[in-house]
């Protein structure tokens, strides 16, 4: 019987979903939370387990060396940069991820962030509940300019599956859609016009980030590239926090170069109290929940179980370090 450890299962299922299909595969221990910084605790909890699941707990060289019985690591996510996958390969440890479990939901959330930036629905609802409407001398009011998207230009940076869903929706809203991606596809051409990166920056009224974190994209939204953008551009990021140099974005928000930003990710999570975006003007921040719909989390557990079954049967499914 395989020994299986889930290091941080709470955010995947805070009690509303069942781990029973995984429990049926072996001797399974599920921890709600494990420290992301205390390697000693991680090593103790893995122990002699052969199969390990992690959502946000890094699996480093030290941990791999300290847990020689570990032969299979599964990210409960698509990105796997918190695992030293190259060293795991050297040690004969397979690393799997869970691709494309939430593409539609993440795209939907990106559009929701954009609509909130344009219409400020949450703000206006709050003011009504606070009594502003009942005490208003006019029959309506708005505290922010309301922005119509039809006829404007959107730039999507990263046109993978999520980016394509977003681009198609932006087109349905009546926007002209530009895209930058180093790997153009016919599917991408069906929903957007591929352009050079600087062209996208200078022509877009709205910029949507849907690129993975790579050496190219890390710090991509910085002072230099913000200067190339249209005055008053709207920026949406529910991809990776480190794509944005947060102080540069805060400065651009405060001086009006960027009219509004809406982000679901930041460089260090949970957000730190000194993150400059917390005090920046016109910045909407949500707590990294684009992926967290019930349907997404159901698929996450289903695919985690399928990855485990494949490993137990000697098959490779979603292995990223072969």
Overall average pLDDT of the 30-38 stretch = 97
pLDDT at position 322, please?
Answer: 94
Confidence of residue 121 (pLDDT cuts 50, 70, 90): very high
Query: Which burial class, exposed, middle or buried, applies to 88 when counting CB atoms under 10 A from its CB (0-12, 13-18, 19+)?
Result: buried
Contact 49, 72 (CB under 8 A): no
* Distances from the Cα of 172 to the Cα of 166, 176, 300, angstroms: 10, 10, 29
Q: Please give the Cα distance from 29 to 6 (Å, whole number).
A: 6
What average pLDDT does this structure show over 265-293?
A: 97
The catalytic site residues sit at: 240, 269, 288
This prediction's pTM: 0.94
Q: Checking DSSP bridges between strand 206-209 and strand 258-263, what pairing results, if any? A: unpaired
Span 211-216, average pLDDT: 92
Give the pLDDT band of residue 298 (cuts 50, 70, 90).
Answer: very high
* pLDDT at residue 156 in the model: 98
Counted residue by residue, the chain has a size of 322
Across all residues in the chain, what is the average pLDDT?
97
Give the model's pLDDT for residue 8: 98
The pLDDT of residue 111 is: 98
Decide: residue 168, CB within 10 A, 0-12 exposed, 13-18 middle, 19+ buried: middle
Q: What is the pLDDT of residue 262?
A: 98
């Amino acid at each position: 019987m395989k020994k299986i450890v889930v290091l941080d299962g709470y955010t995947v299922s805070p009690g509303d979903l069942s781990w029973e299909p995984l429990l049926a595969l072996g001797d399974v221990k599920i921890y709600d939370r494990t420290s992301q910084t205390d390697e000693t605790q991680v090593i103790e909890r893995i122990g002699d387990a052969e199969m390990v699941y992690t959502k946000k707990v890094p699996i480093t060289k030290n941990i791999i060396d300290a847990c020689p019985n570990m032969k299979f690591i599964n990210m409960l996510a698509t990105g796997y940069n918190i695992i030293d996958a190259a060293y795991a390969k050297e040690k004969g440890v397979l690393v799997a991820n869970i691709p494309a479990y939430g593409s539609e939901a993440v795209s939907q959330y990106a559009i929701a962030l954009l609509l909130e930036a344009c219409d400020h629905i949450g703000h206006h609802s709050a003011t009504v509940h606070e009594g502003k409407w009942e005490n208003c001398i006019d029959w309506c009011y708005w505290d922010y300019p309301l922005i119509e998207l039809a006829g404007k230009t959107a730039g999507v940076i990263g046109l993978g599956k999520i980016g394509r869903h977003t681009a198609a929706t932006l087109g349905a809203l009546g926007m002209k859609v530009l895209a930058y991606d180093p790997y153009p596809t016919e599917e991408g051409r069906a929903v957007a016009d591929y352009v050079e990166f600087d062209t996208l920056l200078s022509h877009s009224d709205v910029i949507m980030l849907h690129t993975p974190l790579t050496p190219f994209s890390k710090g991509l939204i910085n002072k230099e590239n913000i200067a190339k953008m249209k005055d008053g551009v709207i920026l949406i990021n529910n991809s990776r926090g480190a794509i944005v140099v947060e102080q540069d974005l805060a400065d651009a928000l405060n001086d009006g170069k960027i009219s509004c930003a809406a982000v679901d990710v930041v460089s260090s999570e949970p957000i730190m109290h000194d993150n400059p975006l917390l005090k920046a003007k016109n910045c909407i921040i949500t707590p990294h929940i684009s992926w967290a719909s019930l349907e997404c989390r159901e698929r996450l557990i289903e695919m985690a179980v399928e990855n485990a079954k494949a490993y137990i049967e000697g098959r490779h499914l979603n292995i990223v370090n072969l």
